[in-house]
Structure 1
Amino acid sequence: MTSVRKVWGASACGLALAAVFAASPISASAQDDAAADVTPLAGMSESVAATVNDGIISTYDLAQRMRLLIVTSGVQPTQQNLPQIQREALISLVDERLQIQELRRVEKEQKFEIVATDKDVDEEIEQMARGNNMSPDQFIGALKAQGVYQSLRDQIRAQTSWQRWIRGRYGSRLRIGDDQITAALQHAEAAASKPQYEVSEVFIEAARVGGMDTAVQGAAQLISQMQQGAPFAAVARQFSASPTAASGGDAGWVTAGEFPPEVDNALEQMRPGQLSQPIPVTDGVYIIYLRDKRSGSTAQLVHLKQVAIAVPQDAPDSVVAAARQKLEALRPNLKGCDGLEATANKVQGVVSGDLGEAEVKDLAPAFRQAAETLQPGQLSEPIRTTAGLHLIAVCGKRAAGGEQLTRDEIENRLYGQQLSMLSRRYMRDLRNSATIETR
């Protein structure tokens, strides 16, 4: 019987496979194990597994993609998870067919080349080989021995071509405004007082896999595989529908409110190094690996440098005045923190140094006022202490609890998020307008 359905979601490995192979070198024993594990696939007679518009996906194509998924994810095939593996393999093949069909259409209309050439694919495979400490011939031989070489080439071609097209079509049009960057900075500063979690995620989208029950069952099977040794990052690359799949599910440091409430509640109960159970949310199921956590803090850290002249506490007023005059004369020549020591050390009797980073509340009272009132790059007036006279330079300020992202880093992150969103919308439109049949 032939059924018609729309296939949702996007494949999420492609170029990231280099990291998988680098993390898990392909040994001879692994090749033998993989070959044995996919024996059930060999019995599939070649026929049509699906049609995508006018394109055909054969059962042979599907079997090879299943092999590739098994080899690269570290998931061991069982009677229970083979349907999940087959479903994920078919979704990725359908998406790739849609992408290549769309790119061929654009090439024909606009008369320029978009789809990656064989040379482009060869270069990507050479990079993967280097990442796995293999020569290209050794790497290709290992891939062929496991029956995944051609499927990997097809995947690389589609992923590389699609990313190139998305960047070319939308990249120059995207503009990240100062107001967006400022809002993101303000959000990060407000979040600094909340508990923070360093997490990796796998998200199984219910609509993509055929319903919530299927998503929950699939998540449980993946958790079982990871508990038996399948690498989280490799599983995320192959099974996650989140944009973080390309980076092995790495979501970085997050605070409450960035995930759905169900995930926030789970994170509060977890310990670093712990893998969650399936966490159902409105549109799918999360698997969370908590890598680390830290308490939020309202404390402020400040990085200081100083220029000083030693003056005993009981020194006469004339000595103190002379030291103050020397620092006042030097002060206009000190342009913030850069080059401060080099400039100050040229003046006889003056010493300088980096005081490092400390919480403002822990500073000596004389220095604390300068740290609180000055902005990064500013220099204090001479400050008298029992040890001498000091010029204090504020080199940086940040909230305790983690490194503050720079404006450039935030801009790059927002740019990447917008490109990813546009790519997902594009793929959704392609699926909605396509005729996709599975058999």
Structure 2
Amino acid sequence: MRRILLGAAMAAMLAAGGVAPAFAQGNPFQPLVYVNDSAVTRYELEQRIRFLQILRAPDADRASAEQALIDDRLRLFAAEQMGIAASDAQIDAGLAEFAGRANLGVEEFTRALAQAGVERQTFRDFVAAGIVWREVVRQRLVPQVQVSDAELDQEMQRLLETPRITHVALSELIIPAPPGQEAQAMGLAESLVQSVRSEADFAAAARRHSATPSAGEGGRLPWMPLENLPPSLRPIILSMKPGQISQPLTVEGAVVLFYLRDSRGTLRPGAREQVLDYVRFRLASLAEANRIAALSDTCADLFVHARGLPPEQIQRQTLSQGQIPATEALRLAVLDDNETSVVSQGGAAELLMLCKRQSALLASGAAPEAPVAVTAEGETAAAPDPDALPDREEMRNQIFSRKVGQAADNYLAELRANAIIRRP
């Protein structure tokens, strides 16, 4: 998605002829703010604003650009404190990787920036700050981040309980972008992204600006299966929530916006089936059963109290709901993990403790077999199964990356709180 938008942004900039920015009045090298005695100048700020505008970044306003420069100073400060610096080779690789997102080489990318009044040094400083910050995060924060099995189980369960989107209700707005007018079309689309707050707003904009037959209906399209959408569009729509407008998408001769009115989905097959791990403990009296229940926090604790008793008095089983006797299943239905239920059985008593309630799909640990597909060459290949759960290690890596990102944000906030930030 970001690659698409960056490429579109550069194309729009080149089509617009690369107009240089109008700099604010006054000394361009006047310090605007000091961050731990490192000055951010007016020139740097104007350069960063223009750079963000070229990238079509949503935070290209003056306040956001200044905060981004302050944060870069903090990142560089943290790197300097740790003895971290970016080599020329690392920076060159970073420039190439960033320019490649727009399908351009570094020289072509920097020439396009220059046409818009942005110096190569601005681009280089932006990339260098990101490089040293990644190394700070790798050395300082990554060793502190761990993903427990409990976190992984919780995330897998959340994924399992989240319906897979099968149908979407979209509204469309297609802005014509004939040759030479790409930048104007993109500018209009971006202004709509900022101003549209509701379906009614989007419908009014579609009636006014859209060049499709659906414009008369406010851009409304009928419910459609997700699989009917082009493969390149599906991940974009899946990343949206009902009531959200997409970022501008460029197609040949037009800029397109979508509004997600609603979505429908279904759970994976077998997602509602449960497997219960539980203990049945028969005791001589109700008082004894209640005493042991009060002293036991886990299923393992029950076996401590069962030492010396015949093994048939205590049993631990892992069964699907359909295999559990109805009377026991009803008692277990109201329990959370490590909760107990005690019932009197004449002069004796029975204690049930639920050790773990788990989806049958997660408990099996086996993903459904992928259907066999045939390639154009006649070879068989496994087609991806939309019902399959992700591999646990893949999910662990996703959680790890998310936690590292959160830790980096928290550390940057800490640096900001401890820094001396002042204005002249």
Give the number of the structure with larger relative contact order, counting CA–CA contacts within 8 Å between residues 6 or more apart: 1
Q: TM-score, normalised by structure 2?
A: 0.50
